[in-house]
Amino acid sequence: MSKQFDVIVIGAGPGGYIAAIRAAQLGMQVACIDEWKNDNGGPAPGGTCTNVGCIPSKALLQSSEHFEHATKHFAEHGISTGKVTMDVATMIGRKDTVVKQNNDGILYLFKKNKVSFFHGRGAFSKAVEGGYEIKVEGAASETLVGKQVIVATGSNARALPGVAFDEVNVLSNDGALRVGAVPKKLGVIGSGVIGLEMGSVWRRLGADVTILEGLPTFLGAVDEQIAKEAKKAFDKQGLKIELGVKIGDIKSAKKGVSIAYTNAKGEAQTLQVDKLIVSIGRVPNTIGLNTEAVGLQLDERGAIVVDADCKTNLPGVWAVGDVVRGPMLAHKAEEEGVAVAERIAGQHGHVNFNTIPWVIYTSPEIAWVGRTEQQLKADGVKYKAGTFPFLANGRARALGDTTGMVKFLADAATDEILGVHIVGPMASELISEAVVAMEFKASAEDIARICHAHPSLSEATKEAALAVDKRTLNF
Ligand code: FAD
Ligand code: NAI
């Protein structure tokens, strides 16, 4: 006998588990299927984000930042310690505990919201009268029927052709998050978000890190001025980033990995490292979903084709998150999950793709929302720019972290905020004010007129807004 549901969600990453909870809140009978296993073979909902992405990477970034503070910055505060050491096993153990707390939290939320959770792989079996039959293969086999199906099966790391991840020498994000000891030499291919975050973790702990990037520009999607400032800071830290390289043969042996490449000048080079992280983007995941059984349409990248509302080519089948177009971000997946649940319930779910914030959790952090200066130029928009350096912010001086700036871009005629770009301390938190402002179509002057607490980093945001009209008070 098959079990009947109003909604079946396949995948319990941020897109799927949030969609399941929202659908249940709206009074629907909901099933959520996820196959991720913890080390004991038990369920580990939360997807890439919780298990091998956002959460564990931020746990390691935090530990490594503490280590760097203790070894390099405590003395400035008059604090002396004995020799500071890092026990990598404890750091990784703490990270695993943080991950488990999040897995358990999601299982609790499923119970609280009466979402039926199935641990196993979900696959389309066939379309049936008024819905779809989904088979679950796990500890037990189940057959479920859902009137509506939300696919949230996420993404996997992209491998270089012919170079498989062995997670010992050649690491994806998964292996990069559980290296057992600090490698002496670490190579990274791709200076995108993962390369910079994971490269920072292991550099702070003492690894000699070289990042090889194919493109000639650093962080091409980031506002140029901000990317330049970030690059300066990374150079100072000793994070070596080589741009414009062409990767050749990669050989992995017991003693490490050798990477042949051509540098930007066209010279042949070889990099010998103990471990290599390959972080060259991610590919949508529909493995084992049996999309052919129902004719679910995929594009040439393997992403499920959806419209702006996350509707697929099949009636009653929706898809959200990394498995569809758009930025591969946890909060984007969540927003789509909520919007789809609300649309199924007959409400007007909405995602504003123009105000999705991006954050890179390096030190300094990089965060932005809206368009960059180069995008505005390309779009032929007349704009005004205002910047304010953290060097002139009292709280940043007290923190001992004055790298970077806040930058506002506003429409030249209406003063509407078109983009806000931050590189510096706590940029991840500061960006929220800009997101709220842009959602409410605020002008730069609106922010300039709001009282910001003193001393706080957020005063740099107000000052950058003032700078749009060339009237900063503290610079
Ligand atoms: P996923 O999180 O990938 O979840 C998909 C789930 O579906 C998985 O649990 C998978 O096991 C399950 N599944 C797949 N197929 C099936 C099937 N057939 N049956 C059953 N279950 C199935 N984003 C941010 O916004 N902020 C960050 O700081 C950040 N840091 C990151 C760091 C790293 C190292 C990585 C790799 C990614 C990071 N991301 C970050 C991106 C973020 O993790 C993804 O955008 C997000 O997880 C996408 O959510 P999702 O629900 O679409 O898919
Ligand atoms: P990415 O797209 O951020 O960066 C990949 C980099 O690799 C690019 O700079 C690209 O030019 C380069 N590249 C591609 N092919 C190459 C090749 N053959 N040789 C040399 N360089 C090459 O992808 P990344 O870092 O793998 O992360 C995947 C995604 O995960 C991100 O795009 C993001 O959506 C998400 N993520 C988000 C985080 C956050 O929000 N803080 C943190 C980590 C990941």
Ligand 2 touching residue 213 (CB < 6 A): yes
Q: Which domains does the chain have, with CATH numbers?
A: 3-156+283-351 (3.50.50.60), 170-280 (3.50.50.60), 355-468 (3.30.390.30)
Complete DSSP assignment for 132-190: EEEEEEESSEEEEEEEEEEE---EEEPPBTTB---SSSEE-HHHHT--SS--SEEEEE-
Residue in 69, 348, 452, 454 annotated catalytic: 454
Position 140 scores a pLDDT of 82
The closest ligand to the CA of 155 turns out to be 1
The pLDDT, as a whole number, for residue 282 is 98
- Ligand 2 atom at minimum distance from 246 CA: 19
Output the CA 383–ligand 1 centroid distance in Å: 36
Pocket of ligand 2 contains residue 218 by CB under 6 Å: no
Compute the distance from residue 14 Cα to the ligand 2 centre, in Å. Answer: 19
Which of 58, 174, 177, 194 has the most ligand 2 atoms within 8 A of CB, as the residue to mutate?
A: 194
Identify the three-state secondary structure at position 264.
coil
Q: For the chain, what percentages of helix, strand and coil (3-state, to nearest 5) are there?
A: 35, 30, 35
Low-confidence ranges of the chain (pLDDT < 70): none
| Residue 445 to residues 370, 430, 474, Cα–Cα distance (Å) | 17, 18, 17
Q: How many CB atoms lie within 10 A of CB 424?
A: 28
pLDDT at 172: 98
Copy the structure tokens of residue 345. Answer: 């319930």
**329 annotated as ligand-binding:** yes
The residue written with tokens 């510096």 in the block is 424
191 among the known binding-site residues? yes
d(CA 353, CA 407): 21
Tokens of 385: 């720019």
pLDDT computed for residue 92 by the predictor: 98
Q: Where are the alpha helices (DSSP H) in 250-327?
A: none
Can you give the pLDDT at residue 359? 98
Instruction: Quote the tokens at residue 217.
Output: 């520009």
Structure confidence at residue 126 (pLDDT): 97
Q: Is 454 a catalytic residue?
A: yes
- Do 408 and 386 touch, CB atoms closer than 8 A? yes
Nearest CA owner, ligand 2 atom 36: 193
Could you tell me the distance, in angstroms and rounded to a whole number, from the CA of residue 13 to the centre of ligand 1? 5
| pLDDT at residue 1 in the model | 77
Q: What is the CA radius of gyration of the chain?
A: 24
Q: Which residue has the tokens 């005629």?
A: 413
**Ligand at shortest distance from the CA of 190:** 2
**Spatial separation of the C-alpha atoms in residues 270 and 259, rounded to whole Å:** 5
Q: 117 and 12 in contact (C-beta within 8 Å)?
A: yes
Closest CA to 106 of 375, 379, 288, 334: 334
Q: pTM score > 0.95 for this model?
A: yes
